[in-house]
Amino acid sequence: MTVTNSGSAETRSRTIQKSVKKSCKNVCSVKSVKSLVPITTWLPKYNITLLIQDIIAGITVGLTAIPQGIAYAIVAGLPPEYGLYSGLMGGFVYLFFGSCKDITIGPTAILAAMTAKYVSGYSYDYAVFVAFLSGWVVLAMGVMNLGFLVEFISIPVISGFTTAAALQIASAQLISLFGMKGASGNYFSESMINFFKSITTFNIRDSILGVVTILILMALKRIGEGCSRTDGVVKQLRWLLSLARNAVVVIIGIIIAYILKVTTGEEPLRIIGEIGSGLPTIQPPPFSTVVGNETQNFTDMLQTIGAGSIILPLVSILELIAIAKAFAGGVEVNATQEMIALGLCNIIGSFALSMPVTGSFTRTALNNASGVQTPAGGIFTGILILLALSLLTSTFYYIPRASLAGLIITAMFYMIDYKIFARLWRTSKKELIYLIATICVCLLLGLEYGIIAGVVLDALVLLFTSARPSLDVNTISSAKGNVIVIRLPECLPYCAADHLRRKILKVSFKAKSDTLIVMDGVILRKMDTTVASNLMSVIKDVEKTNIKILFLNFHVSIKEMCNVINPKYRNKFVTSGSSIEDIVEVTVKVTV
């Protein structure tokens, strides 16, 4: 007996060793390494032609990344240099771990708006801490293959969230656009109230510059339509000017502000002011901070962030995966790898004072249009940001706040999907309710609560629909009597068991004597044992009223499940074709 146990233990030990060895071999295989570090796939094929195209695309994106980074730092309530720090590390990290050539990682309007509440209410440290925390959450979700969670957020909820975010971000910029004094607010309602309270501090110079900035941006976008970098010289210039429109309006604003300063000796426009120069200090992210002369430790900071520690990473994943799919060109997106790359971008970026980052739709579209060939384009965007931090911070001093506000508001115009409202009104008013509910909660309570409300509403309706599946009931009259056919759906989960039972009993109560009820399972493929138990128990209740019941065209596995529960009803299952005539013919023969 002892020898047997020893032999059994040795066998199990060898099995475990083989399993571990096989797993290690798979993890360390060339295929796994190439999947985890995609640079190993494309770098050996890299050449000078690809390099030139990546340089052009990287610099073009950089011209947009610099003004947008500064603008989104202001949206988050941070000093302008934080926006540049946030756009710095993403390109270098994504170079090694990113699998989509077009993706550009950096600050976005939505993440900036979600970060703002922690910054304005507490301290700058929270922005870096949230980036670090989000990075680990995203990385963990990627390692555990939890990317499927974003599939539970429907298009109406996503559209509602995006629309509300655009309105919230735009409303927060109204005070800067019109040169007013006062705080902008963290929520749409708060921003609008503050705007009307501060309307008496309206500044005509800032207002004109802000409105003109919006008009120029819209005009420059328009002139680039229908042009590409492969067209003639004139169209190429139009295309380039359109792509660089964010940088153009910021440069125009800087020139105007500088001229006014030199000619009047004053600063009649509200400007950005001093920007920290030089590279960010490489240091661990803050695990404690001081708020109102009180020190908050790691636990306190976690409690302050609360639901945001999950919602913000989910939003960043949602943005990244949606953008990756949009520019994948039909190629399957490796969601797990993208999440790992995004998580590392945030973790490593937090050591360089970065706020939360994700894929940017605007800059990714620009990267694609500029002909980027590999993720190496992000290096040259990063180099341009480095040069800006080292050499141009004194120039950034003169950036008017109205110009940045106009830039942000214009970008928000294009974030709103106006057509979805009319489309859902015509096709699905139920989903229109999801959309409107998400927008309202986002605007009144905050973006994170809005997307939670939208997902919960979606889930509740999905559960209700699963618990109340549609059942087709048809009555067929024949010479032999009446046959009521109840066509079952493809799937019957346990939550639909009682609904199905009530439906069958309701039909039987209304039926005439000697009627035959046929449960047609021709398309039924999935059914829980709870439903099977209810089907078997309902037979006795139905046949008490002199009404017979049969089960037609049930799949073998489902039929076996029912027979195991109650073997005496095995003869109740019959097989036939799926046409109505066959159903009547077979069921009448069985019951005669």
Residue 22 scores a pLDDT above 80? no
Q: Distance (Å, rounded) from C-alpha 314 to C-alpha 539?
A: 48
Per-residue CA distances from 433 to 32, 125, 180, 418 (Å)? 45, 38, 36, 15
Q: Distance (Å, rounded) from C-alpha 471 to C-alpha 469?
A: 6
Sheet holding 472-478, edge to edge: 472-478, 481-487, 516-520, 548-552, 573-574
Q: Average pLDDT, stretch 134-144?
A: 91
- Model confidence at 163, pLDDT cuts 50, 70, 90, reads confident
Q: Average pLDDT, stretch 144-158?
A: 78
Helix axes 308-326 and 361-369, enclosed angle (nearest 10): 20
Using DSSP, state whether 432 is helix, strand or coil.
Answer: helix
Could you give the percent of the chain with pLDDT greater than 70? 90
- Model confidence at 589, pLDDT cuts 50, 70, 90, reads low
Residue 578 scores a pLDDT above 50? no
Per-residue CA distances from 27 to 301, 318, 352 (Å)? 36, 27, 31
Q: Which domains does the chain have, with CATH numbers?
A: 46-427 (no CATH), 429-467 (no CATH), 472-591 (3.30.750.24)
Q: Distance (Å, rounded) from C-alpha 505 to C-alpha 79?
A: 68
- Model confidence at 284, pLDDT cuts 50, 70, 90, reads very high
Residue 418 scores a pLDDT above 80? yes
Please write the tens of the pLDDT for every residue from 191-206. 888 888 888 888 898 9
Q: Distance (Å, rounded) from C-alpha 38 to C-alpha 347?
A: 19
Q: Distance (Å, rounded) from C-alpha 141 to C-alpha 126?
A: 22
Q: Which residue has the tokens 């390099």?
A: 51
β-bridge mates for residue 484, sequence order: 475, 517
Q: Are 116 and 77 in contact (CB under 8 A)?
A: yes
User: What are the structure tokens assigned to 5, written together?
Assistant: 């146990």
Per-residue CA distances from 458 to 114, 349, 431 (Å)? 22, 34, 9
- The winner for highest mean pLDDT among 19-23, 40-44, 320-324, 473-477 is 40-44
Residue 471 scores a pLDDT above 80? yes
Q: Average pLDDT, stretch 517-535?
A: 88
Please write the tens of the pLDDT for every residue from 71-122. 889 888 898 889 999 988 888 899 999 888 888 999 988 888 889 888 887 8
Amino acid code (one letter) for 3: V
Could you give the percent of the chain with pLDDT greater than 90? 12
How far the first Cα of the chain sits from its last, in Å, is: 63
Q: What's the pLDDT score for residue 162?
A: 81
Q: Average pLDDT, stretch 66-75?
A: 87
Residue 17 scores a pLDDT above 80? no
Residue 365 scores a pLDDT above 50? yes
Regarding predicted confidence, which is higher, 437 or 455?
437
Closest CA to 269 of 256, 278, 251, 280: 256
Residue 19 scores a pLDDT above 60? no
Residue 447 scores a pLDDT above 70? yes
Least confident among 227-236, 304-313, 431-440, 481-490? 227-236
- Model confidence at 208, pLDDT cuts 50, 70, 90, reads very high
Regarding predicted confidence, which is higher, 218 or 35?
218
57: how many CB neighbours lie within 10 A of its CB? 28
Q: What's the pLDDT score for residue 138?
A: 92
Closest CA to 469 of 438, 443, 494, 449: 494
Q: Distance (Å, rounded) from C-alpha 271 to C-alpha 335?
A: 41
User: What are the structure tokens assigned to 348, written together?
Assistant: 């490593």
Q: Are 301 and 129 in contact (CB under 8 A)?
A: yes
Q: Average pLDDT, stretch 152-179?
A: 84
Q: What's the pLDDT score for residue 214?
A: 92
Q: Distance (Å, rounded) from C-alpha 42 to C-alpha 517?
A: 64
Q: Are 76 and 112 in contact (CB under 8 A)?
A: yes
Q: What's the pLDDT score for residue 137?
A: 93
Q: What's the pLDDT score for residue 129?
A: 94
546: how many CB neighbours lie within 10 A of its CB? 11
- Model confidence at 446, pLDDT cuts 50, 70, 90, reads confident
Residue 261 scores a pLDDT above 60? yes
Q: By CB neighbour count within 10 A (0-12 exposed, 13-18 middle, 19+ buried), where does 512 fall? A: exposed
Q: Distance (Å, rounded) from C-alpha 103 to C-alpha 365?
A: 8
Q: Average pLDDT, stretch 140-146?
A: 86
- Going along 273-314, which residue ranges are E strands? 289-291, 294-296
What b/e sequence results for 400-411 when a residue is b if at least 16 CB atoms lie within 10 Å of its CB, and e otherwise?
A: bbbbbbbbbbbb
Average pLDDT, the chain: 83
Q: What's the pLDDT score for residue 326?
A: 67
Q: Which residue has the tokens 């509740």?
A: 460
User: What are the structure tokens assigned to 102, written together?
Assistant: 């077009």
φ, ψ (nearest 5 deg) of residue 482: -95, 140
Write out the DSSP string of 363-399.
Answer: HHHHHHHTT--STTHHHHHHHHHHHHHHHSHHHHTT-
Residue 3 scores a pLDDT above 50? no
Write down the pTM of the prediction.
0.71
Using DSSP, state whether 123 is helix, strand or coil.
Answer: coil
User: What are the structure tokens assigned to 110, written together?
Assistant: 């939505």
Q: What's the pLDDT score for residue 340?
A: 92
Q: Distance (Å, rounded) from C-alpha 583 to C-alpha 570?
A: 18
Q: Average pLDDT, stretch 330-341?
A: 82
Q: What's the pLDDT score for residue 479?
A: 62
Q: What's the pLDDT score for residue 231?
A: 78
Least confident among 19-23, 146-150, 223-227, 414-418? 19-23
Q: Distance (Å, rounded) from C-alpha 260 to C-alpha 394?
A: 17
Q: What's the pLDDT score for residue 256?
A: 92
Task: Please enumerate in sequence order all residues whose Cβ is within 8 A of that of 571, keeping only pairs 6 or more positions apart, or say none.
Answer: none
Closest CA to 489 of 516, 523, 459: 523
- Model confidence at 131, pLDDT cuts 50, 70, 90, reads very high
Q: Are 548 and 591 in contact (CB under 8 A)?
A: yes
Pairing relation of β-strands 481-487 and 472-478?
antiparallel
Q: Distance (Å, rounded) from C-alpha 86 to C-alpha 72?
A: 10
Q: State whether the Cα torsion 241-216-107-284 is positive or negative.
A: positive
Element (H, E) at 470: none
Pairing relation of β-strands 358-359 and 105-106?
antiparallel
Element (H, E) at 483: strand 481-487
Per-residue CA distances from 465 to 79, 86, 459, 471 (Å)? 49, 44, 10, 12
Q: Are 186 and 117 in contact (CB under 8 A)?
A: yes
